[in-house]
Amino acid sequence: MYKNFFITGYPGSGKTTIFNNIVTDLKENIPDLHLYGFITREIREEGSRVGFSIENYDGKKGILSHIYYKEGPKVGKYRVNLRDFENVGMNTLHHALRDSGIKIIVIDEIGKMELFHPDFLKIIERIINSENILLATISYKITELLAKFGNRSDTLIFNLENAPKDTRKRKELKEKILKSILKRL
């Protein structure tokens, strides 16, 4: 039975939209379900993307990356803020693993910026090998991890490249993931 669910695809393919819809449906259908994790969002100024924020489900926020930062690993035009990623992202995942009441760990996203943290991949592997259900978006560029995760019998990867931007198909994909998670619960 599957317990790890990854959504991948190109930027703008709808990964985060489907992810958020699944999380919302889970919260609405099972109000006492404990899920925990973090999401990343674009930071925009005057219509242009200037960075990314990170926020956990308790509302703790930080800046994951920004064009105006002078220090930190560089990804394109952005500098990664490893301190905020540690304080929000990593601490959230550690908490989720320690809290036996949390059944689902949600991560939007596993990407190049997050992988600059030296312990991020280690905690992802701990989550994958835990009893927790994992729902995560993952960059399509991280082919080595996609192949590694995809070889596991308890893991499903949904590639949006293979799903046209047809609203009905997207809804079917979301329902398939949601049903698989609910079966596991």
Range of the domain at 132: 4-39+85-184
The CATH number of whichever domain residue 9 belongs to comes to 3.40.50.300
Q: Classify residue 47: in a domain, yes or no.
A: no
Tell me the C-alpha distance between 139 and 16, whole Å: 11
Residue 163, pLDDT above cutoff 70: no
Tell me the C-alpha distance between 66 and 51, whole Å: 4
The number of domains in the chain is 1
Q: What's the whole-number mean pLDDT along residues 94-115?
A: 96
Question: What pLDDT is stored for residue 1 in this prediction?
Answer: 84
pTM for the model stands at 0.94
